[in-house]
Amino acid sequence: MRERLVKYWWIWLAIAVVAVIGNEFFDRDVAGDKNGHPFGDFLVAIVLVGIVFYASAFVGRRKARRH
């Protein structure tokens, strides 16, 4: 698991950046929260990276079983 995180660090970083930007857009434009909270952005980024990481592992295992 750690090897995959280190090997594809740039993908996880890109997902985290997109999550933070998306959360800022949602907070400011949709929710009307002009102040925001940095920890909330960090938490959203961590959760999204975790979801994508485990989903990609699940898909990889399914593809490996078929071959």
pLDDT digits (tens, 9 = 90+) for 25-47: 777 666 556 666 667 778 888 88
Residue with tokens 């399914």: 62
Burial class of residue 66 in the structure, from the number of CB atoms within 10 Å of its CB (0-12 exposed, 13-18 middle, 19+ buried): exposed
Instruction: Return the pLDDT at 31.
Output: 58
Phi, psi for 54 (deg, rounded to 5)? -70, -35
Instruction: Give me the percent of the chain exceeding a pLDDT of 70.
Output: 73
**Residue closest to 52 by CA, chosen among 21, 25, 22, 13:** 13
| pLDDT, position 21 | 84
Of 42, 54, 59, 55, the C-alpha closest to 1 is 54
Please determine, for residue 18, whether its predicted confidence score (pLDDT) is greater than 80. yes
Q: What is the pLDDT of residue 6?
A: 75
pLDDT of 67 strictly over 70: no
